[in-house]
Chains A and B, each alone.
Chain A
Amino acid sequence: MRRFVYLILALPAVAMAQGWGNVGQQKEEVFTWAKWWTEPLFSGFWMAWTRATLAFFIFIFAAIALMAVLELRRPGGDERDGILRLTTTRGDRLFISLLGSAYIFLAWLGLVGLPLWAPLALALAWTAFCFWKV
């Protein structure tokens, strides 16, 4: 019995003798696109930017900038009365399609869950519908 206890006590010592073993070894970093998009962009910065969220905002601002360019090229905002009995300009249609898409994604996420390919298609369809008819 005593021998057994000694043996157990000795086990960590044996392990110690092995040094660090493979604990300290860095695992080989494998580059994946998913990781590239989602890793912290500025480490330790409180705003916590990632490339994915940055891309999201660039997309939104680019869309707004596109509306501005279109407005400068063809002033008047392409105003019309859509089928929802709303008078809308290009900018309004962009807003309606973005907000509508947000609701589509949220509804799908709550009711069905990931992945979000189906609602993406729905959102694109909604956007097309907004710019075409509303």
Chain B
Amino acid sequence: MKPRSLVPLIYILFLMLPIYWLVAMSFKTTNEILGGFSLFPQEWTLANYRAIFTDPTWYWGYINSILYVSINTVISLAAALPAAYAFSRYRFLGDKHLFFWLLTNRMAPAAVFALPFFQLYSAVGLFDTHLAVALAHCLFNIPLAVWILEGFMSGVPKELDETAYVDGYSFPRFFATIFIPTIKAGVGVAAFFCFMFSWVELLLAKTLTAVEAKPIAATMTRTASSAGYELGLLAAAGVLTIIPGAIVIYFVRNYIAKGFALGRV
């Protein structure tokens, strides 16, 4: 082993330490957590996980999160696919400025939108629904999806479109049966990043929900503040929120950089 491969190794070790600690805590009993320091759980317990899977306020948090994240991913992709095609293939009035305007929404701080979103979604009667959070997350996920997809589509030569046209394909048929399969990696990456950014966001999701559509993250912050010493439960809930990302990430491993960089690598 070369000495310089130690650098990534140490870095990964540093990344894994807090995650390890979270996992270890989730298997400890409350007594052990408060009783003293132990590197490994002395007495393995699944009580924390059992508590989550049997308490409706906990598991509904997960169901709510998954619901609005899925709705958001579907809306974002459905809207972004044709738009990204237009940006990558056509020149039209104001295209560059529109593309820039989308970017500003990806860059804008969520804190700025929290207050008007609360007013807006209350006024249209969507407050505390999954749809409200899903629509609100479109603010940054649609621009993200458009930018990522545009990056992938620009890599597809225009000859593909022209050949399909000459072969007598109608445009919708070409788009659905030839073009989307060609960029399916891009669609997958865009879906992954929409899912992820909606999954990790808390501020807007918390602002727009009260009871019915309350996300798991908000349930966690409530636990953290009210019952200060249920650390084991908090850790178990945290571990469960990491799992979806950890499972799916393997499939996009070659495109992680591209996704985070809005398709510009």
Interface residues of A (CB under 8 A from B): 46-47, 67-68, 71-72, 89, 91-92, 95
Contacts and interface: CB of A to CB of B under 8 A. Distances in A.
B243 interface: no
Contact of A46 (B93, B94, B97, B123): B123
Contacts of B97: 91-92, 95
3 nearest A-B pairs in the assembled complex, by CB-CB distance: A46-B119, A91-B97, A46-B123
Interface in B91-105: 93-94, 96-97
A46 B125 CA distance: 13
Nearest to B123: A46
Interface residues of B, number: 7
Nearest to A68: B93
A17 to B, nearest CB: 48
A72 B123 contact: no
Contacts of A89: 96
Interface string B233-256: 000000000000000000000000
Nearest to A72: B93
A68 B94 contact: yes
16 contacts: A46-B119, A46-B122, A46-B123, A47-B119, A67-B94, A68-B93, A68-B94, A71-B93, A71-B94, A72-B93, A89-B96, A91-B94, A91-B96, A91-B97, A92-B97, A95-B97
Interface string B96-139: 11000000000000000000000100110000000000000000
A89 B94 CA distance: 11
A34 to B, nearest CB: 27
A95 B99 CA distance: 14
Contacts of B93: 68, 71-72
Nearest to B91: A75
A25 to B, nearest CB: 36
Contacts of A47: 119
A46 B96 CA distance: 33
A100 B93 CA distance: 24
A89 B97 CA distance: 10
B125 to A, nearest CB: 13
Given A91-B97, A95-B97, 6 more contacts: A46-B119, A68-B93, A68-B94, A71-B93, A91-B94, A91-B96
A95 B93 CA distance: 16
A91 B96 CA distance: 9
Contacts of A72: 93
Nearest to A75: B93
Contacts of B123: 46
A67 B98 CA distance: 13
A71 B94 CA distance: 9
B151 to A, nearest CB: 22
A89 B96 CA distance: 10
A72 B119 CA distance: 38
A71 B93 CA distance: 8
A19 B215 CA distance: 59
A68 B97 CA distance: 11
B132 to A, nearest CB: 16
B116 to A, nearest CB: 9
